[in-house]
């Protein structure tokens, strides 16, 4: 019988192939599209980063910044993306990297460990009203 972690990863990984296939079919010569980008990344604001690249960034910096992406300096984000980006048609590679990092992160987490929920205080409805 498969463990919960294996079952969970199978569900996550099943989307990998479909997403990779989608990006493999995208044009690499249509101006202004993500898959056709031919240059170096130089984002000036976290909110300007496309979601599909943000997924990779979240996996790359998950443990270093406790998944608080806004705390990651833009210079580090730009450098990391430029190291991975290989020019037009790089999105399938980005997708592969994202899922590989996600798989490594999931391997480090024991979802059956009851201590994951320990010390988590759940606010009451009255406390929500004070926010």
Q: Which domain holds residue 65?
A: 4-110
Buried b / exposed e along 65-85 (16+ C-beta atoms within 10 A): beeebeebeeeebbebbeebb
Is the residue at 130 inside a domain? no
**What was the pLDDT predicted at 9?**
62
| Total tally of structural domains belonging to the chain | 1
Is the residue at 102 inside a domain? yes
Is the residue at 121 inside a domain? no
**What was the pLDDT predicted at 109?**
66
DSSP for 25-80, please give it: TS-SSSTT-GGG--S----SSGGGS-HHHHHHHHHHTTTTTTT-GGGS-HHHHHHH
Is the residue at 10 inside a domain? yes
Judging by beta carbons within 10 Å of its beta carbon (0-12, 13-18, 19+), is residue 63 exposed, middle or buried? exposed
Which residue positions in the chain have pLDDT lower than 70?
Answer: 1-13, 67, 109-122, 128-131
pTM: 0.73
């Amino acid at each position: 019988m498969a463990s919960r972690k294996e079952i969970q990863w199978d569900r996550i990984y099943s989307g990998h192939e479909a997403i990779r296939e989608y990006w493999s079919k995208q044009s690499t010569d249509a101006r202004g599209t993500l898959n056709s980008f031919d240059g170096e990344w130089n984002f000036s604001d976290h909110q300007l980063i496309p979601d599909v690249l943000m997924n990779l960034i979240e996996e790359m910096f998950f443990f270093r910044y406790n998944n608080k992406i806004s705390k990651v300096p833009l210079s580090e984000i730009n450098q990391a993306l430029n190291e991975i980006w290989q020019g037009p048609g790089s999105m399938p590679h980005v997708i592969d990297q994202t899922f590989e990092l996600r798989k490594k992160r999931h391997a480090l987490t024991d979802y059956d460990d009851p201590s994951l929920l320990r010390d988590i205080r759940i606010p009451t409805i009255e406390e929500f009203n004070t926010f």
